Structure 1
Amino acid sequence: MTTAVVTIAAGRHEHLRAQDAGLRSGTVQPDIRTIVAMGDTDVPGATVVLPVDGALPLARARNAGARLALDAGADVLIFLDVDCVPAPNLVASYTEHVRDGVVLCGPVTYLPRGADLGRLPELVNPHAARPNPPAGTIESGENWDLFWSLSFAVTATTWADLGGFCEDYAGYGGEDTDFGWTARERGARLQWLGGAHAFHQWHPVSAPPVEHLDDIVVNARVFHRRWGRWPMTGWLAAFAERGLIAWDPDGATLERRTHDR
């Protein structure tokens, strides 16, 4: 099995260097490393730089990375967010357990600010909203809303069957859930792999993510048009409560009210 690790990036250069160091220290290194930079010519080790005009093309960049990896002969695609440092066994575990027809996800720990990346095994504390089965075991999932692109693996066959990420999305939000719903519609299985840990490095965030308000509104409309329901409902509810949007959770109304932050 020829394995590729695909990462997309714009900025976060130090985070990417830490990820690369983690991959190099793994029990198994990927055969192919694909880094897609989005409008950032300084991304270290970039395989290709995509031009950016407006919102970051996250979906298009992931698809471009997958295409490059497949053209290089990849049988397995591992997608790893630029902020994530892999556990030493992540590549080996995904490669061993991924199967055709499966979207395989490992647990992700959000690290505190200043975390010592040399002590990652001591810092395992996976996100509580997602399954964390015992190491080396697989738990089947039914809730595709829990899929996220921070860390997951598919075979080349499964990627071809799913068609990649929908490129109607640009910027932050929605494309992950869309990918999950597409996988569900096409009969793929969602599985959670215990012990294939990724560690999300700290960076400033806001809750709700008002800096991404415009992208989220546009992408939520795309999702509603495609699936007949709203994604990211927690964020949309928080934006509505702040008076930033007019939103009907049971209807088709979602409008941006103000540019004030």
Structure 2
Amino acid sequence: MWPDVSVIIPYYDNPEGLREVLAAVRAQDYQGRVEIIIADDGSPTPASQEPSLADALSNVVLVRQDDLGFRAAAARNLGAAAATGEVFAFIDGDTVPQPGYLTAAVAHVQRNRRAVIVGKRLTGPGLTEPRWLTDAWAATGNMSRADSTSWRYVISAVLTCSANFFRHIGGFDADFVGYGGEDWEFGWRAWNAGAQLVHEPGAVAHHPEEDFGGRHRDVAEETRVKNIETLALARRITHPIARPAGVVFDMADVAIVVPEFDQPGAAEAVIASWLRIDAHVYAPEKSALFASDPRVSTGPPGAERIRVTLTEAWALADAEMFYRRATDRFFQLPDGTEVATARALALTSPRTRASGAWLGLAFLDDPQRLERVFAGW
């Protein structure tokens, strides 16, 4: 039994392209029920009133939002809210799925309800994939070896996932306005929620225009657009590759939960060591040393990607080793200290025994003379 599929098509003022997409969706050989939803992002002439689409909109669900800028993320959410299928297949209104697209993509959801599938999107007159994507598929084995950085390869124009998983992670971030970014942010949250990222080369779709890099001849304009996207993502994606070091954001990448320590100076030394990376420290009380530091608080942890729950005075000694090894697993030190990623917690991964030294940590078992800690005396 193949699940019901809702094909959700964000659309803006391109009736010719939409006709081609609709014809291609109807020509699919998918064996289950296919529902088509068009989410109009405030087109000057609504799709429902476009004369050239009159005969193409039969048995199609139409939803529409006001034109408040380029809001593809919000449009997709609007379409998803009206959808009844067990699987959502997001296909852009100018991206034409080829025969077998739905069957190839949905097969992965049948095997894993956390699967997030990216199709093969061919662009331009030459119907080619951008080099950065072909390199990514080769390097990750079509994402069979995906890791915490593979959200960079999630393309919302050819994206399929289960309806339940989409709702579980909250859909797309509707606050995105302007080109790009919402698919990477979605992929980031999906990965941390335990998604299986998949690139399915058999789910092919054609986009007649060039990829983003090929559409912009003005380097300054291309750079401006991409910088807007990068800055928007830096606030939302906490991974070190998405944001500059040393900048304080509302949400940090790492949460450090600190208990009370008996040794004099241990709390200050431990906390100061962790603040060298993008961390927020949660302590029973706020030492006077950190009175003005917003990264130290007494509240409960937030939604940071990595959570370190200390039971003893473990300081961060090697940040590079910590980031390399404390990834997508649940580690427990002999004293009970735990290091876990959001993904490991979402997948209820078993605890793996590890030493603090292996994770790049140093145990402070003596009273700490802070002048020596701070100045290296």
Structure-2-length-normalised TM-score = 0.52
> Which of residues 34, 46, 59 in structure 2 aligns to 1:42?
46
Whole-Å Cα distance in 2 between the matches of residues 89 and 209 of structure 1?
40
Whole-Å Cα distance in 1 between the matches of residues 223 and 17 of structure 2?
21
Match of residue 369 from structure 2? none
Matches within 5 A, 1:224-243: 224-228=234-238
Match of residue 3 from structure 1? 5
Q: Deviation at 1:195?
A: 1.0
RMSD, aligned α-carbons:
3.1
1:129 is paired with a residue whose SS is: helix
Question: Unpaired segments of 5 or more residues in structure 2?
Answer: 48-52, 249-377
Q: Deviation at 1:130?
A: 2.7
Matches within 5 A, 1:47-62: 47-53=62-68, 55-62=69-76
Higher mean displacement: 22-31 or 169-178: 22-31
Q: Is the 8 A contact 1:165 1:175 kept in 2?
A: yes
Q: Is the 8 A contact 2:91 2:159 kept in 1?
A: yes
Q: Deviation at 1:227?
A: 2.5
2:102 is paired with a residue whose SS is: helix
What is the identity percentage for the equivalent residue pairs of Structure 1 and Structure 2? Answer: 28
After superposition, give the CA deviation of every residue in 1:139-187 in whole Å (9 maximum; x if it has no partner). 5233111111010110112112221011221121211111111111211
Q: Give the aligned residue type for 2:132.
A: A
How many pairs are equivalent? 221
2:132 is paired with a residue whose SS is: coil
Whole-Å Cα distance in 2 between the matches of residues 173 and 230 of structure 1?
20
Q: Is the 8 A contact 2:108 2:115 kept in 1?
A: no
**Greater relative contact order, per chain length (Cα 8 Å cut-off, separation 6+):** 1
Are 1:104 and 2:104 an aligned pair? no
Q: Deviation at 1:127?
A: 3.6
Match of residue 305 from structure 2? none
1:39 is paired with a residue whose SS is: coil
Q: Give the aligned residue type for 1:51.
A: D
Whole-Å Cα distance in 2 between the matches of residues 157 and 100 of structure 1?
8
Matches within 5 A, 1:193-212: 193-202=200-209, 205-207=215-217, 208=219, 210=221
Match of residue 244 from structure 1? none
Question: Unpaired segments of 5 or more residues in structure 1?
Answer: 116-122, 234-247, 254-261
Higher mean displacement: 100-109 or 137-146: 137-146
Q: Give the aligned residue type for 1:206.
A: H
Q: Is the 8 A contact 2:118 2:198 kept in 1?
A: yes
1:74 is paired with a residue whose SS is: coil
2:133 is paired with a residue whose SS is: coil
Whole-Å Cα distance in 1 between the matches of residues 142 and 163 of structure 2?
20
Q: In structure 2, do the counterparts of structure 1 residues 150 and 161 end up closer, same or farther at CA, with 3 Å as the change threshold?
A: same
Q: Deviation at 1:230?
A: 8.6
Q: Give the aligned residue type for 1:87.
A: Q
Whole-Å Cα distance in 2 between the matches of residues 209 and 171 of structure 1?
17
Match of residue 155 from structure 1? 162
After superposition, give the CA deviation of every residue in 1:76-97 in whole Å (9 maximum; x if it has no partner). 1000111211111001222222
Name the larger-Rg structure: 2
Match of residue 255 from structure 2? none
Whole-Å Cα distance in 2 between the matches of residues 178 and 60 of structure 1?
13
Matches within 5 A, 1:124-163: 125-130=128-133, 139-140=143-144, 141-142=146-147, 143-163=150-170
2:6 is paired with a residue whose SS is: strand
Q: Give the aligned residue type for 2:17.
A: H
Whole-Å Cα distance in 2 between the matches of residues 144 and 190 of structure 1?
8
Whole-Å Cα distance in 2 between the matches of residues 106 and 209 of structure 1?
30
After superposition, give the CA deviation of every residue in 1:210-261 in whole Å (9 maximum; x if it has no partner). 27946x5555333222224698x8xxxxxxxxxxxxxx955659xxxxxxxx
1:169 is paired with a residue whose SS is: coil
Q: Deviation at 1:191?
A: 0.8
Q: Deviation at 1:100?
A: 0.6
> Which of residues 87, 93, 107 in structure 1 aligns to 2:98?
87
Q: Give the aligned residue type for 1:187.
A: G
Q: Is the 8 A contact 1:223 1:230 kept in 2?
A: no
Structure-1-length-normalised TM-score = 0.73
> Which of residues 12, 15, 19 in structure 2 aligns to 1:13?
15
Q: Is the 8 A contact 1:139 1:193 kept in 2?
A: no
Q: In structure 2, do the counterparts of structure 1 residues 102 and 49 end up closer, same or farther at CA, with 3 Å as the change threshold?
A: same
Q: In structure 2, do the counterparts of structure 1 residues 210 and 92 end up closer, same or farther at CA, with 3 Å as the change threshold?
A: same
